[in-house]
Amino acid sequence: MEKLVVTFAVAFIAVVVATESDDSIIENINRAQNMWKAGKNEITDKGIEYMKRLLGTKIPENLDILPRRADIEIEENIPTSFDARTQWPHCTSIGSIKNQGHCGSCWAVAAASAASDRVCISSGFKVVVNISAENLLACCSDCTDPGERGCDGGYPEKAWNYFKKIGIVTGGDYDSAEGCQPYEIAPSDEEVSENEENYYTPPCQKKCTNKKYPVSFRKDKHYGRTSYLLKQSETTIQSDILKYGPVEAAFTVYYDFYYYTSGIYKQTSTFKVGGHAVRVIGWGVENGVKYWTVANSWGKSWGENGTFRIRRGTNECGFEEYVTAGLIKK
């Protein structure tokens, strides 16, 4: 039933998109509000099937049944604005923007990136690594729905569970030859996205795929100590970031989101496309509007140099109700 609904929704959007040009979509968004600017970008140029594939986060229908961490202490003096990149400048992973390629791996990319940030912060800036999104994407079978694989989408809280129970090796970006298991899916460019092979999840490998990497697979693993889902509360999320570093947030993407180029996003479209996971790196206020600062995984040319800002305190598109993270095992 769900598949049918999704198929129908996509067909419907495809029709809407086919009959409505990018220009008029953009015009409508920009006319409807003045908080953010819509425009064409590398992602919207690729068409709805491609765009839909990027949304690989499963959002459980009933979030209320998931246990939430209740023991977060709310920080007393939460600053009006905060940027993890400038707070912890030695942790370079915080400012890095990933490119998930043509795969619904946002759930894994966001978790691995936030885990990299947290490993660095909790080590007192001594351990600077990229935790491998590849390893998580390819090997966490618990993270996906039965019969599916990582690129078909996954559950963020299960990614953090995997990090705690099984551990994840290091691995840099595509073609970086960095770490034990670098990312194997190419950034989304036209040529590669037409390649069928690129559509599939890489196989799970229990060895370092980077032959030149000197550390063994087993020794290269990093582990979480805890994994948790935060309460739906702005100050809880802020307190967790202030204390431990960036978190992963999952939210519902409406069609207009793809066209984001700058400003503070709020929903204008009613076409729901899917679930997406991202990494929250800070917050602020602009012209009296509170926002979260967020790293996306659609490359640096999308949005504000790969990041976006979204309205804060209003649970915009469910942004504050499915926030996950974990603490690091030292």
Q: Which residues are catalytic?
A: 106, 276, 296
Q: Which is nearer to ligand NAG, 187 or 275 (CB)?
A: 187
Tell me the residue ranges of DSSP E strands in the chain: 36-38, 82-83, 224-229, 247-254, 260-265, 272-286, 289-295, 307-311, 323-328
**N-terminal to C-terminal alpha carbon distance within the chain:** 45
Asked if 150 and 105 touch (Cβ cutoff 8 Å), the reply is: yes
Contact between 305 and ligand NAG per CB under 6 A: yes
**Closest distance of CB 225 from ligand NAG, Å:** 21
Please report whether residue 129 would count as binding ligand NAG according to CB under 6 A.
Answer: yes
Q: Which is nearer to ligand NAG, 48 or 281 (CB)?
A: 281
Any contact of residue 172 with ligand NAG (CB under 6 A)? yes
- For ligand NAG, the closer of residues 130 and 239 by Cβ is 130
Residue number with CB closer to ligand NAG (155 or 213)? 213
Q: Residue 26 CB: number of other CB atoms within 10 A? A: 18
Q: How many residues bind ligand NAG (CB under 6 A)?
A: 11
132 binds ligand NAG (CB under 6 A): no
**CA angle, residues 275, 304, 172, in degrees to nearest 5:** 70
The amino acid that residue 306 corresponds to is G
Which span sits near ligand NAG by CB under 6 A: 171-179, 191-199, 213-221, 232-240? 171-179
Candidate segments 22-30, 90-98, 209-217, 271-279, binder of ligand NAG by CB under 6 A: 90-98
The token duo for 130 is 């990229």
The alpha carbon dihedral of 284, 31, 320, 329 has a sign of negative
Q: Which residues bind ligand NAG (CB under 6 A)?
A: 92-93, 96, 128-130, 172-173, 178, 304-305
